[in-house]
């Protein structure tokens, strides 16, 4: 795959990949234990939820400003600058004074919103016909960072403490800057009419962005709840094993499915991803609390990770297919922004719906609401796709 790019393009893709992979790895180290960490500072599920989702709020709010600034002062400079609040925010969250300090740390860390700038940098550096390939080369290692972070987070937390995860995230942020400083980047010039086309947002991708919002909301509620029940039912070591096997088995299913999605079945597997998340809902949230049966919980987490991993693989290419080639960056930007907003909403929703005691009524309510949200997601997916495969990208 890398043979399609020249030496400078490879360096560019590699530098952006390092930034994104190490940043995402740091984020997902924290995710499976964040609720337990938040309980050290507050007994309020809502405040813990706000702290959990705060990162997504500032990520969403600062995507556009960082993009605008990078247009003026250069992608490379802004990406390096954007990693500073990410590093500082994680250091604040490492040893916060109280829950409000943790919230501030998460808000500061999220304000380093360099994702869209990094993607724009890669797209500007490669020919238009190779941009999807470049995005795939970014997406694959990010997917692995997600899986490895989810597995290693509880392991490191159990041995060194959950606060250490934030220190590791900050150190990874510092390391990620190094390859970016070594590359040479010159932003290409565009004619006025090209710039006008490049910012065009497709209504269809906004609808897919709504799906991204709802799925991200679901994902954060899932991870809000997961350590609460997982450590209660399995203990600390058992929770680590649960995550390991759930992520590995779910990941294998997702990777196997992606080979079919690559053969023109993007819409089909987008539907399958959402259906798997729908099916997992009662097994994860309701059945284990109602009956105490841990086996259903394990099965449910496997189904969830399979569905969510497939979603991560196929939805970005779906946005690509629904976008005009000269406006892919703008459309993927709005999609990412809506995902980040979904993460913030998920933190608050988790805090409101999931009580720290995990009583039956709260979990029944949570299961029903999440199931309805997935059904709504399927409806929003149907509008732009009609559940049919999109054979080619829209053209200008």
Instruction: Using a pLDDT cut of 70, give the percent of the chain over it.
Output: 91
Residue 185, phi-psi category: left (phi > 0), alpha (psi -120 to 50), beta (remainder) = beta
Other C-beta atoms closer than 10 Å to the C-beta of 165 total 29
Contact indicator for 222, 284 with CB cutoff of 8 Å: yes
Give the phi and the psi of residue 320 in degrees, each rounded to 5.
-60, -45
Same domain, 299 and 350: yes
Per residue in 311-351, pLDDT (tens digit) is 988 888 888 788 876 676 678 778 989 999 999 999 999 99
Same domain, 146 and 282: no
Per-residue model confidence (pLDDT) at position 348: 96
Same domain, 44 and 155: yes
pLDDT of 268 above 50 = yes
Residue 42, phi-psi category: left (phi > 0), alpha (psi -120 to 50), beta (remainder) = beta
DSSP secondary structure code for residue 39 in this structure: T
Same domain, 222 and 177: no
Q: What is the pTM of this model?
A: 0.90
Per-residue model confidence (pLDDT) at position 187: 61
Q: What CATH number should be reported for the domain holding residue 6? A: 1.20.1250.20
* Mean pLDDT of all residues in 41-53: 96
Same domain, 177 and 206: no
pLDDT of 392 above 60 = no
Closest CA to 41 of 158, 163, 195: 163
Answer yes or no: is 188 within a domain: no
Same domain, 83 and 206: no
**Mean pLDDT of all residues in the chain?**
89
Same domain, 218 and 167: no
Q: Which residues contact 236 (CB under 8 A, 6 or more apart)?
A: 154, 158
Contact indicator for 44, 347 with CB cutoff of 8 Å: no
Q: Copy the structure tokens of residue 247.
A: 């992520």
Per-residue model confidence (pLDDT) at position 151: 94
User: How far apart are alpha carbons 273 and 261 in whole angstroms?
Assistant: 11
Q: Copy the structure tokens of residue 367.
A: 């299961």
345's enclosing H/E stretch is helix 328-353
Per residue in 174-194, pLDDT (tens digit) is 999 998 888 877 665 555 555
pLDDT bin (cut points 50, 70, 90) of residue 5 is confident
* Mean pLDDT of all residues in 201-226: 95
Could you list the residue range(s) of the whole structural domain that residue 242 is in?
A: 200-396
Per-residue model confidence (pLDDT) at position 138: 80
pLDDT bin (cut points 50, 70, 90) of residue 393 is very low
User: How far apart are alpha carbons 244 and 149 in whole angstroms?
Assistant: 10
Inter-CA distances, 311 with 134, 304, 376, Å: 19, 10, 16
Contact indicator for 204, 334 with CB cutoff of 8 Å: no
Per residue in 84-93, pLDDT (tens digit) is 999 999 999 9
User: How far apart are alpha carbons 236 and 355 in whole angstroms?
Assistant: 20
Give the phi and the psi of residue 264 in degrees, each rounded to 5.
90, 25
Rounded to 5°, the CA angle 323-325-326 comes to: 110
Same domain, 176 and 239: no
User: How far apart are alpha carbons 280 and 310 in whole angstroms?
Assistant: 14
Per-residue model confidence (pLDDT) at position 396: 40
6's enclosing H/E stretch is none
* Mean pLDDT of all residues in 277-293: 95
Residue 286's Cβ-side half-sphere holds a number of Cα atoms within 13 Å equal to 15
Same domain, 286 and 364: yes
Same domain, 268 and 347: yes
Per-residue model confidence (pLDDT) at position 231: 95
Same domain, 300 and 178: no
Number of structural domains (the chain) is 2
Per-residue model confidence (pLDDT) at position 190: 53
Per-residue model confidence (pLDDT) at position 395: 43
């Amino acid at each position: 795959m890398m043979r399609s790019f020249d030496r400078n393009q490879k360096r560019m893709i590699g530098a952006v990949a390092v930034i994104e992979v190490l940043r995402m790895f740091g984020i997902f180290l924290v995710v499976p234990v964040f609720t337990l960490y938040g309980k050290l500072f507050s007994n309020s599920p809502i405040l813990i939820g706000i702290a959990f989702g705060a990162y997504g709020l500032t990520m969403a709010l600062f995507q556009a400003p960082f993009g605008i600034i990078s247009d003026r002062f250069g992608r490379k400079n802004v990406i390096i600058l954007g990693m500073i609040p990410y590093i500082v925010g994680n250091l604040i969250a490492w040893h916060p004074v109280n829950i409000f300090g943790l919230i501030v740390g998460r808000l500061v860390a999220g304000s380093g919103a360099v994702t869209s700038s990094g993607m724009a940098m890669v797209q500007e550096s490669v020919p238009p016909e190779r941009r999807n390939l470049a995005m795939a080369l970014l997406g694959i290692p990010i997917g692995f960072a997600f899986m490895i972070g989810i597995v290693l987070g509880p392991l490191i937390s159990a041995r060194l403490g959950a606060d250490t995860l934030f220190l590791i995230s900050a150190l990874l942020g510092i390391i990620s800057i190094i390859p970016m400083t070594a590359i040479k980047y010159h932003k290409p010039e565009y004619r006025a009419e090209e710039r006008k086309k490049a910012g065009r947002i497709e209504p269809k991708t906004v609808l897919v962005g709504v799906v991204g919002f709802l799925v991200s909301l679901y994902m954060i509620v899932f991870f809000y709840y997961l350590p609460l029940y997982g450590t209660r039912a399995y203990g600390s070591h058992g929770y680590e094993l649960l995550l390991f096997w759930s992520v590995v088995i779910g990941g294998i299913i997702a990777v196997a499915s992606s080979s079919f999605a690559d053969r023109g079945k993007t819409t089909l597997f987008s539907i399958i991803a959402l259906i798997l998340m729908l099916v997992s809902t009662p097994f994860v949230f309701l059945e284990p609390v109602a009956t105490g049966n841990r086996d259903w919980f394990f099965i449910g987490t496997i189904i969830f990770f399979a569905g969510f991993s497939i979603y991560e693989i196929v939805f970005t290419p779906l946005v690509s297919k629904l976008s005009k080639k000269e406006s892919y960056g703008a459309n993927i930007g709005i999609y990412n922004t809506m995902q980040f907003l979904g993460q913030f909403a998920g933190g608050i929703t988790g805090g409101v719906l999931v009580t720290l005691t995990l009583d039956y009524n709260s979990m029944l309510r949570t299961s029903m609401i999440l199931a309805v949200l997935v059904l709504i997601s399927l409806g929003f997916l149907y509008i732009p796709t009609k559940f049919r495969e999109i054979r080619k990208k829209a053209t200008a």
